[in-house]
């Protein structure tokens, strides 16, 4: 009885889809230990599930994936299928897991319709109860229900057996970019649906922003009365009523009204959010307001449990999003666990609920010889239409869901149009999204992924394009490894063109699986489980590390999407703009703090007037702060912060919502410019220098210990200083034309030659030439070391020669010190900041251990750079910028160690610490999946110089 594995149908004997309900039906949760047996093929699985003898079987926890419970191994592919494309067939090696459990059916299920409900089984399964075959189903992330009333007896034991296959015809439409993980991974429940109880309910609650009234219509398969106590409302199902005085639901103010639907057979508890989604003049609105999606793509992931999440995991995700100012989620690329959607209703997140569908590995066109993509193959049609119906039915009562999405990356085909029609037939109130409808033939929202900011601006500027539909980026800002860079460019476009309504960062969390390799705990990515075909660390491209700690990318995104803009007004004052959708600023407290040379000297509250959405105020700094303004003072910064005055359900009082910095020690006009950086080494101008070395005129003779040896120049504590032009390529460098070009140019293996050294004009001068083997280019550097007032001053001049590379990863010096513990610096922080990821970096004084300075990207790569450093102390050595702020990197391993490491556990500190002082570094961008790094953020090779002052404490 296994014909169904290779069948185009969705299932057999599966009940029609219905809404997920919080109701009075009896419920026997079947989470917990089940007997388990894994067979390598379908044929090897004994045909005994009608009467299985489970003696000798293992036990396995349900819900869970068997590959994460000790059976078989996870495998990761992004686009490609790990099996040959010949639907409906799948490999004979098709791991098949049998689950058996005996339960006592509660006596009070008597008289009810008894339903066995599966929230998610990957990928296809058959069910047997008490010796009878019940049916089969597929759609891994969709619910399936079977009527087992005639097979069980209340008060008696029931034996439930489930056969799950890793591969099935359904796998052809579930080619999402994630680990292939099998099994009963969401809950199973035995339900008792009482006679005359509602089992399918559709709440239709709207809100009219013109007259402020709500409307309510509750449809139910069994008639009843809906009561909303808070509104004093009692209304029969099926009756459309106007409700005065309701507050609308939005992501910012997620107002829900508790309601009960009473029928003869019991109660259904509803949480009603009155809100209206509409597209008006090409703009997507909620309650009449233009929405700007500051979103993320969220896969369900936990490093130990895979796609089996606990309620706490889901709450964690929601809290992390809310605290970061994220207001929207695309449930890439399948409907999430229903509890997550309830949390989105409650805490306030706009959701694009996506159907469980992706056929990416087919490409977008028919493959030779005439292999149609499933979305154009009539044999798949009914399953695909049912998939979107199952999605809409299960989730239709969530006010948080504002858009349905048909799926991801399937190309185009008539089955998609049929899915669109099916979604609209069930729910005309929500727009339907599908990104590969690239010409906007039927979709309601125009969507793209990874389009450049310029490309988005073109769409924004031309209403004749794509039927003037609202435009979103369903994926952008690919957060793989170090990055994403350049997010501010997108913000500008989203703010300039009303039609450009934001987007969803790819993606929320790295899917690194916690495992042990060579005795060390690591987060595994593609290939780590010996997969023959895989996509490496493309599975680690989130704003969170696998353990849900935020990566610098998350801090950067949170800063870029802040709901308030706090900047210098160009006149010595501060300008605050409210960019919320519906909130005014009454819930916020504004404070200002002044730091002189990194030391706090004063603070106080700032009387920002109440701002409605869209409003801006400019205000002078209060005298207590203004008094620190003076030309010629040490570097003085005011940090203005907006914090929550009171706790919200998602954050404590005092949680920071937005901030900005103004500089006080410069003329007011210049202060507004802040510290805008440039990656160009030739201009030398990354802001102004804070630390001016006193007595910069060289007087004394050569530093006594100066010598240029085999490994570089050694002067005092500075050991083996060399020019440095290489970084361990980041994921965004690993695309054609970037790191491979740098390697062709020999940048990864330059050699250093001492051209000359000796005393000259009161300095000890070393001339070096840095060049790769074989090639005809080099960098000629003059290092002039001078002893000045107990300090050593280095004046470095670098001149490129020959056919030099146009762009360098970095240009700086690296030297060695005996193992350093702690680093203090005055510059940008606290997190790493590159020329295009510095929005979240504040100027200040920071302190960290060397270990804390490292960013643990799952696949090791360049990290930890702090742009625009004024000075740093590395244990006893102080390094000051004299003419040019520098980028600071301190690590306990070499760039080569970083480059060759596969996992962070491979990086082990030794006795030496490596300090890199960059004149500049190329930005990080998002090119791993997205537009190329803009020229602006590339470090162009050109003659350059740097002066540093070294002192020993």
What is the C-alpha end-to-end distance of the chain, expressed in Å?
Answer: 80
Shortest distance (Å) from residue 507 CB to ligand IPT: 7
* Residues 826, 869 contacting (CB under 8 angstroms): yes
Residue placing its CB nearer to ligand IPT in the complex, 473 or 592: 473
Residue placing its CB nearer to ligand IPT in the complex, 541 or 665: 541
- DSSP state at residue 56: T
Shortest distance (Å) from residue 451 CB to ligand IPT: 10
Q: Which residues pair with 204 in a beta bridge?
A: 217
User: H-helix or E-strand containing 670?
Assistant: helix 668-671
> Whose CA is closest to 299, among 481, 167, 183, 141?
141
Question: What is the crossing angle of helices 487-496 and 552-560, to 10°?
Answer: 20
The whole-angstrom separation of Cα 369 and Cα 508 is 38
The whole-angstrom separation of Cα 280 and Cα 292 is 14
Residue ranges that bind ligand IPT, judged by CB under 6 A:
78, 177, 408-409, 449-450, 475, 478, 506, 538, 541, 929
Shortest distance (Å) from residue 481 CB to ligand IPT: 11
Residue placing its CB nearer to ligand IPT in the complex, 64 or 361: 361
Here the tokens at position 38 are: 């894994």
- Alpha carbon separation from 33 to 55, 56, 164, 647, 789 (Å, rounded): 15, 15, 16, 40, 74
Residue placing its CB nearer to ligand IPT in the complex, 479 or 564: 479
Residue 56, sorted as left (phi over 0), alpha (psi -120 to 50) or beta, turns out to be left
Q: Which residues pair with 722 in a beta bridge?
A: 814
Residue 482, sorted as left (phi over 0), alpha (psi -120 to 50) or beta, turns out to be beta
Residue placing its CB nearer to ligand IPT in the complex, 339 or 538: 538
Shortest distance (Å) from residue 408 CB to ligand IPT: 5
SS (HEC) of 105-130: CCHHHCCCEEEEEECCEECEEEEEEC
Shortest distance (Å) from residue 717 CB to ligand IPT: 44
Q: Which residues pair with 417 in a beta bridge?
A: none
- DSSP state at residue 630: -
Residue placing its CB nearer to ligand IPT in the complex, 177 or 595: 177
Shortest distance (Å) from residue 929 CB to ligand IPT: 5
Residue placing its CB nearer to ligand IPT in the complex, 176 or 904: 176
Shortest distance (Å) from residue 324 CB to ligand IPT: 20
Here the tokens at position 695 are: 């007595």
**Three-state secondary-structure class, residue 21:** coil
For the chain, state the CA radius of gyration: 31
Q: How many CB atoms lie within 10 A of CB 818?
A: 10
> Whose CA is closest to 728, among 814, 791, 644?
814
Q: Would you call 145 a catalytic residue per the annotation?
A: no
Residue placing its CB nearer to ligand IPT in the complex, 481 or 829: 481
The whole-angstrom separation of Cα 841 and Cα 856 is 18
Shortest distance (Å) from residue 551 CB to ligand IPT: 15
* Residues 355, 409 contacting (CB under 8 angstroms): no
Shortest distance (Å) from residue 813 CB to ligand IPT: 36
The whole-angstrom separation of Cα 524 and Cα 540 is 9
Q: Would you call 507 a catalytic residue per the annotation?
A: no
- Residue of closest CB approach to ligand IPT: 177
**β-strands 866-869, 886-891: how paired?**
antiparallel
Residue placing its CB nearer to ligand IPT in the complex, 193 or 513: 513
Shortest distance (Å) from residue 475 CB to ligand IPT: 6
Of residues 187, 475, 816, 880, which has the active-site annotation? Answer: 475
Of residues 409, 556, 562, 595, which has the active-site annotation? Answer: 409
Residue placing its CB nearer to ligand IPT in the complex, 6 or 177: 177
- Alpha carbon separation from 92 to 44, 95, 531, 726 (Å, rounded): 10, 9, 17, 48
Instruction: Give me the DSSP letters along 357-396.
Output: -B-GGG-SSPBTTTB--GGG-GGGHHHHHHHHHHHHHHHT
Give the active site residues.
Answer: 409, 475
């Amino acid at each position: 009885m296994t014909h169904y594995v290779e069948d185009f149908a969705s299932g057999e004997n599966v009940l029609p889809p219905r809404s997920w309900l919080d109701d009075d039906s009896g419920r026997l949760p079947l989470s917990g230990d089940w007997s388990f047996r894994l067979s390598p093929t379908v044929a090897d699985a004994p045909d005994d599930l009608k009467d299985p003898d489970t003696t000798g079987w293992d036990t396995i926890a349900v819900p869970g994936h068997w590959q994460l419970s000790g059976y078989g191994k996870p495998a990761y592919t992004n686009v490609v299928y790990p099996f040959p494309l010949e639907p409906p067939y799948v490999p004979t090696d098709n791991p098949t897991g049998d689950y058996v459990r005996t339960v006592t059916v509660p006596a009070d299920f008597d008289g009810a319709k008894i339903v066995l409900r599966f929230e998610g089984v990957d990928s296809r399964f058959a069910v047997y109860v008490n010796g009878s075959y019940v049916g089969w189903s597929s759609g891994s992330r969709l619910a399936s229900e079977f009527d087992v009333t005639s097979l069980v007896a209340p008060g008696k034991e029931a034996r439930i057996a489930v056969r799950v296959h890793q591969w099935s015809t359904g796998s052809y439409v579930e080619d999402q970019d994630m680990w292939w993980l099998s099994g009963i991974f969401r809950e199973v429940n035995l339900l008792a649906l009482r006679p005359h109880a509602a089992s399918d309910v559709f709440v239709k609650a709207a809100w009219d922003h013109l007259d402020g009234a709500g409307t309510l219509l509750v449809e139910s398969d069994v008639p009843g009365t809906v009561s909303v106590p808070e509104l004093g409302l009692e209304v029969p199902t099926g009756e459309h009523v106007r409700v005065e005085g309701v507050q609308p639901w939005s992501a910012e103010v997620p107002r829900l009204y508790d309601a009960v639907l009473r029928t003869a057979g019991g109660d259904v508890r509803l949480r009603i959010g009155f809100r209206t989604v509409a597209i008006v003049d090409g703009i997507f609105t909620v309650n009449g307001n233009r929405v700007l999606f500051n979103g993320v793509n969220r896969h369900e992931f936990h490093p130990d449990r895979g796609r089996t999440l606990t309620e706490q995991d889901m709450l964690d995700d929601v809290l992390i999003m809310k605290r970061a100012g994220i207001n929207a989620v695309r449930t890439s690329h399948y409907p999430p666990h229903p509890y997550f959607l309830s949390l989105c209703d409650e805490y306030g997140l706009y959701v694009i609920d996506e159907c469980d569908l992706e056929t990416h590995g087919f490409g977008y066109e028919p493959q030779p010889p005439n292999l149609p993509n499933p979305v154009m193959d009539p044999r798949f049609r009914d399953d695909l239409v049912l998939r979107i119906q199952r999605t809409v039915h299960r989730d239709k009562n969530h006010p948080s869901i504002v858009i349905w999405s048909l799926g991801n990356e399937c190309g185009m085909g008539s089955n998609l149009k049929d899915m669109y029609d099916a979604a609209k037939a069930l729910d005309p109130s929500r727009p339907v999204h599908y990104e590969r409808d690239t010409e906007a033939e039927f979709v309601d929202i125009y969507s793209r992924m990874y389009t450049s900011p310029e490309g988005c601006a073109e769409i924004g500027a031309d209403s004749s394009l794509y039927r003037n539909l609202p435009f979103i980026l369903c994926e952008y800002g690919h957060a793989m490894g170090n990055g994403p860079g350049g997010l501010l460019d997108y913000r500008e476009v989203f703010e300039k063109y009303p039609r450009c309504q934001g987007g969803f960062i790819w993606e929320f969390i790295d899917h690194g699986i916690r495992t042990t390799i060579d005795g060390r705990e690591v987060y595994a990515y593609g290939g780590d489980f010996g997969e023959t075909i895989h996509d490496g660390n493309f599975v680690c491209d989130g704003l969170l590390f696998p353990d849900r700690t935020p990566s610098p990318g998350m801090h950067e995104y949170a800063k870029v999407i802040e709901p308030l803009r706090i900047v210098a007004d160009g006149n010595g004052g501060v300008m605050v703009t409210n960019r919320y959708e519906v909130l005014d600023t009454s819930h916020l407290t504004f404070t200002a703090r002044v730091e002189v040379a990194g030391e706090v000297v004063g603070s106080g509250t700032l009387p920002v007037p109440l701002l409605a959405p869209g409003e801006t105020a400019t205000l002078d700094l209060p005298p207590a702060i203004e008094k620190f303004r003076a030309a010629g003072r040490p570097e003085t910064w005011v940090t203005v912060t907006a914090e929550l005055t009171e706790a919200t359900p998602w954050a404590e009082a005092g949680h920071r919502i937005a901030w900005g910095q103004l500089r006080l020690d410069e003329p007011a006009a210049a202060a507004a410019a802040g510290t805008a950086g440039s990656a160009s080494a030739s201009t030398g101008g990354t802001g102004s220098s804070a630390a001016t070395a006193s007595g910069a005129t060289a007087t004394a003779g050569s530093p006594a210990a100066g010598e240029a040896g085999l490994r570089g120049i050694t002067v005092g504590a500075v050991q083996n200083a060399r020019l440095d032009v290489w970084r361990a390529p980041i994921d965004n460098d690993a695309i054609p034309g970037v790191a491979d070009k740098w390697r062709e140019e020999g940048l990864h293996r330059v050699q250093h030659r001492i051209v000359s050294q000796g005393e000259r004009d009161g300095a000890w001068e070393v001339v070096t030439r840095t060049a790769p083997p074989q090639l005809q280019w080099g960098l000629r550097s003059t290092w002039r070391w001078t002893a000045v007032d107990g300090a050593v001053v280095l004046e470095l001049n670098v001149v490129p020669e020959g056919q030099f590379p146009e762009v360098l990863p970095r240009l700086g010096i690296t030297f060695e010190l005996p193992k350093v513990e702690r680093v203090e610096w005055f510059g940008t922080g606290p997190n790493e900041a590159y020329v295009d990821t510095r929005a979240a970096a504040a100027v200040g004084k920071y302190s960290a251990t060397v270990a804390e300075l490292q960013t643990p990207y799952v696949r090791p790569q360049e990290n930890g750079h702090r742009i625009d450093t004024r000075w740093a102390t590395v244990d006893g050595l102080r390094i000051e910028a004299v003419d040019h702020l520098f980028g600071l990197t301190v690590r306990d391993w070499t760039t080569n160690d970083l480059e060759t490491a596969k996992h962070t556990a491979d990086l082990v500190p030794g006795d030496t610490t490596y300090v890199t002082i960059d004149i500049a570094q190329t930005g990080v961008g998002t090119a791993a999946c997205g537009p190329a790094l803009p020229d602006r953020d590339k470090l162009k090779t050109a003659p350059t110089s740097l002066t540093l002052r070294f002192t020993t404490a």
